[in-house]
Structure 1
Amino acid sequence: MKRSRFGIAAMVGGFVGEWACAAAAQSAYAADSAFLKVLTERVDFTVQQIPALGRHLWQLPSIIDGRTALLLLGIVVAGLAAEVVARLLLSRLRVRTIDRLVGHSPLRAFGAALMLDIVALVALFIAGRVVLSRMGDPQSIGHLLGQQVFQALFYWRAFNLLFRAFLRPATPEGRIAPVDDATARSLLIALNWVVVLPLIANHLGRALLNTGAPKEVVSAAIILYAPLIAACLLWVVWHWHKEMAAWLSAMVSDRKVGRQLKLDAAHRWWMFGLAFYAAMGAAAVYAALTESGTAARGLGMIETTLLVLLLFETLMHRVTRHIVSELPMAGDVVADCLRLIARLYAIILIADALMVRVLGAMTADEWVAHDRGAKIAAISLVAIYAFWRFLRFRMDSYIAANPLPSADAAADSEDDVKVAASRLRTLMPLLRAMAGSVILVVGGLLVLSELGVNITPLIAGASVFGLAVSFGSQSLVRDVVSGIFFLAEDAFRIGEYVDCSKVKGTVEGFSVRCLKLRHQNGQLHIVPFGQVMHITNFSRDWTVVKFNLAFAPGTDVELLRKTVKKIGTDMMEEPAFKPILMQPLKMQGVVDIKDSSLIVRFKFMARPKNPSAIQRMGVRRMYEQLPKVGIQFATPTMPFTIPGMVPVATATTITPSAAAPAAAAPPAEAPPAPAKAAE
């Protein structure tokens, strides 16, 4: 009975779900059908206005008299002539200014040349206004058309001024864009077309309205010329796509993350350009049909934002491209922060244009709350990024100022080399990685929270995931925890020679899980911290070096002691050994008498930097000074000699000729420092 009830309930639920889906699909289909019907009717109605458009264009000579047409042409001619004359008069001054300032400050050279170009633009403005003032009544058709022509001309030349300031086809010394002369000339033409063609499309419709054409006629005109303008823009994108790709790819830094991905995007930018200008043409046609130009204005705003962002990124690249060091400079950090601010602001403007104007997903009032959250999130992101970059800059500066000891530091025993890194220098790479991870996680959660995303499930999910990982990777957790304690206790530093019970070597690096030891023969041992039972550090604090020398029978032991003490005291006073020696070289006493030789032990205490150099120098000075006071080293003795054979010494003592090398060479398994070879 229970199964039958469940079966009936499932059947009823299935019928209800099917009915709901069918109803939703039917309503969506009905909405789409209604929209298509209205759109088709608008297309038919607008196409029917084409004959009226032809009649209106035929009547334009009677609407615009010859004087008005000449004045309209005069605005363009006078403005352009004034700009050209001003540019020619200021050309020498511009070249001298660029040559004088570009070597010291490229930004000042750019600003000075831009100010001279603005003077030429002011001349265009004055000449155009003078001609416009002769158009008569401000409410007349001629004056309205003249105002349009003047606005379009000034807008075009203002953008041309910016493009010319960055490209400088005639003065490559002051060029901001990283392109050659031929590419600069081609790009200047292309960017002018990108500005002029939308201007023509926009002002043609307004001009028809000002001449008294009905809105239906203007819509018909837009339907006719908007696809043509869009086709021209598509041709511009395709014809100059290689030149623009050269500009974009030249700004991709070799030191940034994702360089290959950025290069691919720079070389394939034309795909986005074709899609964008095709959408602009469709938006213009749609605006003509629906009498709503919101989408077209939104796309125009996106185009302007992207152009301004391109110029800003080019300026930042020109300012910072002289920084060739792998270590980021303070100016590079500031430039990256400014880039982030500009990019985030551009993203907010583009999102506003898309959501409100292009797609119509929400009204302007509904977007206010999202816009406020996006701006707060952007400010938070900029603050977090600036904090991280300056923190990393300080860490990288410290790492660069405190280089790690070289792998062959022990071999350069005669030089003042750095044997071990400081504790902070040892931990700095790990601290940098940990700080970056913490800032990334906390900052990401903060930004998502400002954007309206509920971060509670993310935190809970991360906790559950971390717990599952900890249970499934107990050995990994043990390695990490052991490594944290070893690092906290300062058990080793990079460059120190340690013994980890199973392997020995110089600490070359480490991570949160394992330790990297370089054996003196070249092998690299990677030891997980969980397998390290104890660490014996041979390079910490101090070391006592003991060695034996053999002297001839009858040696005055007291004279030997005093002479060696004098040698040790003199070495303690020398600047080369004073920072290293903690106790002077001295004689401990006679340890053995065998094979007709007196075995004497010597010792000294030094810092574990390079004690082998002190030992070799002490043996050398004893070899030079002891014979002068009558103390002789032991010599090999032979009980008999066979003719034709080289005599073989029967004693195993250290002779003067072999004393220094024997004292310097450690055993096969000994560390580079002589502390291991002391006994």
Structure 2
Amino acid sequence: MRSLASMVAHLLFAMAVMIVPVASLAQTATEPVTLPNPLTPEAVDSLVSRLTDEQVRSLLLERLDAVADAPKAAEAEPAGPADLASALGDIALDTLAAWRYNVVNTPEIVAAEGRVLGNYLATLGWSGAAVFFGVFLLAVLLGIIAETLLYRFYLTSRIPPLTESDRRDIFEALPILAKRLWRETAGTLLFFVVVSLVVHFLMPVRDEPVAHAILRWIIFFPRLSLAVLRFFLAPKRSDLRLMYCDNKSAKYLFFNFLGIVMVIGLALALLGVNQALGATPDVDRIAFWLNVAVFVWLAIIFVRARDGLRSIIRGRTTTLTSFELWAAHVYPWFGLAAIGLTWIFASVMGAMGQSELLRDGRHLVSLAVLLIAPMLDTLIRAIVQHMVPPMRGDGAVAMRAYDANLRAYTRIGRVVVFGAVILITARLWDMSMMNMASAGVGEQFAVHLVQALMICVSGYLVWEIVRLLINRKLANEYTAVSDQAGDEDKPLSQTVKSSRLGTVLPPISWALQAVIIILTVLTALGNLGIDVTPLLAGAGIAGIAIGFGAQKLVSDVVSGLFFLIDDAFRLNEFIDAGGTIGTVEKISLRSLQLRDAKGPVLIIPYSNIKTVTNFGRDWGIMKLRFTVPFDTDVEKVRKIFKRIGLELMENPELAPGFIEPFKSQGVAEFNDVGIVVRGKFMHKPGAQFAIRKQIFKRVQEEFAANGIQFARREVRVSVSGSDEKLTEEQLHEVGAAAAHAVPDAPPGGKQAKT
């Protein structure tokens, strides 16, 4: 009650602030002679009866001069800035005059409305009034009974409690709220139908329009609005509230919006009653004050509940962009600006005699659309978060991919929803291509303009859809990579390799987006009548010139495209690119960047790569050769290799890199040194080097433990009389013979065994 009293006080204060200066102006200034609008015979007679002879003569001369100057004005040159400023000044003066008239004549307007209702009641008489109110009350009573029976026997379900712990998003509460909205709407519709039927059959014909105006705008309209407000704000059920705000803000907005609805209903009911009774247009000016009440009340709501409105715009989303946070912060001031401009527009239209444009309260509907449109953005974000599957994996890459998907869906939803809002608003104001043509815009230009706008919107949607589809693929790839990474301290490129899609899709995405933008711009310009042939010719000439001047670049790009299509290499794979060996660190449109094992970065243009050997694709087999003396037990070596393979398969660090364990392949060959025994293992890409290092270590340990030596190259030189000690000359002969037998021996020769 205190809040309602405060609101009424604010409203009265605002009205007083408006009335006092205008009323004082009316008392000090001489009232000019203004023609009534519309200019009916009754209005002319009423005006003439109030004017003096001098005023009638002056008004007649003014109108005759205006008629005489009309042909000259039609032949005059187009209006310039000065004429436009003069016209705007006249509009402002007319608007102020209309406001002044409404303020000064407020008692007369209220008295006229009272006379209309009094004349109607006098026409009814006591008996007619008793019949009117009796039938109306009977109809309302029967409507309440029918609605109660509907709730008791058919719509008996109650709304269960829903705790915050049970609720994940607004879609948890939406089915319950929809059921309640359906229940209340069905009851209200049944009530309206029953009351309308009773009024139709029992009410006298002359009184039926008045009863229907009261029923439609004072009873049915507020009740239906009550159900809608409860659906969105749920003032008593925070667990079901779609608009994210605190309880205080929800209750404040609910009751104040309901009050505004009742004021609007009262204004529309008065207009309907006046129309049904054939009242003069001056009586309808009482709607001016009801209009003022609605706009001032709305302005007070947006000032006092600005924090709650900002919370509604932000919604439950925690990851908002800086623009979204800024939009939520300025939304109350945007609402105030929209309210003020709509009020000024309505006042100007009334002063210019264009009240027909405001029929059915279309300016209020447009204002409601403007104020609700930003809230639809909150609904779009909530729907997108509900539709998009949860993020897979952890880490920065997965988060970026997930956010990219959310933003793409949100942008598409915004274009669709706000495009529909614009179309609905245009339809509300009868804005079409034919209307634009009749207003002087030109039919062909209007058609081409609309077509160009539709092409731009369609191109943007296609661009967003292409980005979305590619980002979804990339999100799946990158989140899978993030799942495998495991080590958050290392860069992702150092822990796992990307997939083929992760390598191919980004360049394709850039190319497709560029093509879509170019085609959209050229098509839109063509629809506007702009000749795009010179643009295409210039682009062709530029392309030829660039092609001749950048043959090497084109060769690199084309070669790289085919390498990507063939899936020759991927990020973080170990390859040999035409003799240059390293790990793939970056793939661009024209070159490949490898990281050498010693650290240097090698950049290779694609056109320089003739062959590619990929050591890191899917799986690999590494074969190791060991040379043992001729007298070694080969079966014993086989068992040692098998035991080493089983032990390494149980190693938690090395086991994930194995596909098949290390095992012996038997004797590979005999050479002049000894027996060559070969072992092999199948591995995952990148794991072979750590496994090989451990195998070498274990083989050396096992051979030493089992008395097996590695064979060494020996040269045997037979010297006659070897039992005696060799002389210095004989030793030189032995060394020369060994060097001749092993031509690649290092300086100093090989050890000779005699």
TM-score interval, normalised by the smaller of the two chains: 0.5 to 0.7
Work out the CA distance in 2 between the residues paired with 1:445 and 1:298: 38
319, 339, 361: which is aligned to 1:277? Answer: 339
Match of 1:115 in 2: 182
Deviation per CA, 1:130-168: give whole Å up to 9, x if none: 77559832433x742542442353223323322211222
Q: In 2, Cα distance between the equivalents of 1:279 and 1:504?
A: 70
TM-score by length of 1: 0.66
Give the partner amino acid of 1:277: I
Offset, 1:275: 1.9
> Once structures 1 and 2 are overlaid, which stretch shifts more, 196-205 or 173-182?
196-205
Q: CA deviation at 1:214?
A: 1.4
Question: In 2, are the aligned partners of 1:86 and 1:119 still within 8 Å (CA)?
Answer: no
Matches within 5 A, 1:355-374: 356=431
1:616-655 aligned within 5 A: 616=693, 618-619=695-696, 622-623=699-700, 626=703, 630-632=707-709
Residues 273, 520 of structure 1: alpha-carbon distance in 2 compared, 3 angstrom cutoff: farther
Find the counterpart in structure 2 of residue 56 from structure 1.
Answer: 112
Which of 308, 313, 326 is residue 248 of structure 1 equivalent to? 313
Measure how far apart 1:427 and its partner are.
1.9
Tell me, in whole angstroms, the C-alpha distance in 2 between the residues paired with 1:83 and 1:249.
42
Q: Deviations over 1:558-601 (max 9, x none)?
A: 535554456667889999788468995666679998xxxx9988
* TM-superposed deviation, 1:625: 5.3
How many pairs align?
A: 592
Q: Distance in 2 between matches of 1:633 and 1:375?
A: 80
Structure 1's unaligned 5+ residue stretches are 1-19, 412-416, 550-554, 636-679
- Partner AA of 2:689 in structure 1: S
> Match for 2:366: what amino acid?
I
1:231 Cα offset (Å): 2.1
Q: Distance in 2 between matches of 1:609 and 1:561?
A: 31
- Percent identity of equivalent pairs: 17
Equivalent position to 2:228, from 138, 162, 184: 162
Cα distance, 1:40–1:179 mapped onto 2, change above 3 Å: closer
**Distance between the aligned counterparts of 2:134 and 2:453, measured in 1?**
48
1:258-657 paired onto structure 2 within 5 Å:
259-293=321-355, 295-296=357-358, 297-306=361-370, 309=373, 315-322=379-386, 324-325=390-391, 326=399, 340-353=415-428, 356=431, 385-386=464-465, 389-390=468-469, 392-401=471-480, 406=485, 420-442=497-519, 448=524, 452=528, 454=530, 456=532, 460=536, 463=539, 483-484=560-561, 487-488=564-565, 490-498=567-575, 506-512=583-589, 515=592, 525=601, 527=603, 529=605, 539-540=615-616, 556-557=629-630, 559=632, 561-565=634-638, 579=659, 604=680, 608-616=685-693, 618-619=695-696, 622-623=699-700, 626=703, 630-632=707-709
Q: So what's the TM-score if we normalise by structure 2? A: 0.60
**Contact 1:587 1:601 (8 Å CA) reproduced:** yes
> Distance between the aligned counterparts of 1:463 and 1:524, measured in 2?
41
Cα 1:515–1:74 change in 2 (3 A) is farther
Q: Is the 8 A contact 2:504 2:565 kept in 1?
A: no
Change over 3 Å in CA distance of 1:439–1:372 after alignment to 2: closer
Contact 1:230-1:281 at 8 Å conserved across structures: yes
The CA distance in 1 between the partners of 2:605 and 2:134, in whole Å, is 86
CA distance in structure 1 between the aligned counterparts of 2:637 and 2:356, rounded to whole angstroms: 97
What amino acid is the match of 2:332?
W
Unaligned 5+ segments in structure 2 are 1-75, 122-128, 392-398, 650-654, 713-754
Q: Deviations over 1:232-265 (max 9, x none)?
A: 222222222221111011265727xxx2112211
Which range moves more in the overlay, 125-134 or 572-581?
Answer: 572-581
Which one of the candidate residues 135, 138, 150 is aligned to 2:216?
A: 150
Contact 2:230 2:254 in 1 (8 A): yes
CA drift at 1:494: 0.8
The CA deviation at 1:178 is 2.7
Contact 2:408/2:464, CA 8 A, preserved across alignment: no
Root mean square deviation of aligned Cα:
5.7
One-letter amino acid matched to 2:354 = S
Equivalent residue of 1:356, what SS? coil
Moved more, 183-192 or 510-519: 510-519
Q: Which amino acid aligns with 1:278?
A: G
After TM superposition, give the deviation of residue 281 of structure 1 in Å: 1.6
Which whole-Å CA distance do the structure 2 matches of 1:627 and 1:253 have between them? 64
> Measured at CA, do residues 143 and 229 of structure 1 come closer, stay the same or move farther in structure 2, by a change above 3 Å?
same
Greater Rg, structure 1 or structure 2?
A: 2
One-letter amino acid of the counterpart of residue 290, structure 1: M
Indicate the residue corresponding to 1:94 in structure 2.
Answer: 158
Cα distance change of structure 1 residues 239 and 127 upon mapping to structure 2, 3 Å threshold: farther
147, 169, 180: which is aligned to 2:246?
A: 180
Cα distance, 1:443–1:185 mapped onto 2, change above 3 Å: farther
Give 1:189 deviation, angstroms: 2.8
2:157 match: secondary structure: helix
Query: What's the offset of the Cα at 1:268?
Result: 0.5
Given that 1:75 and 1:150 are in contact with CA atoms closer than 8 Å, whether structure 2 keeps it comes out as no
Of stretches 464-473 and 237-246 in structure 1, the one that deviates more from structure 2 is 464-473
Say whether the 8 Å CA contact 1:419–1:495 is kept in structure 2.
yes
Cα distance in 1 between the residues matched to 2:260 and 2:453: 30
Q: Deviations over 1:41-61 (max 9, x none)?
A: 877877786564244134255
Would you say 1:237 and 2:314 are equivalent positions?
no
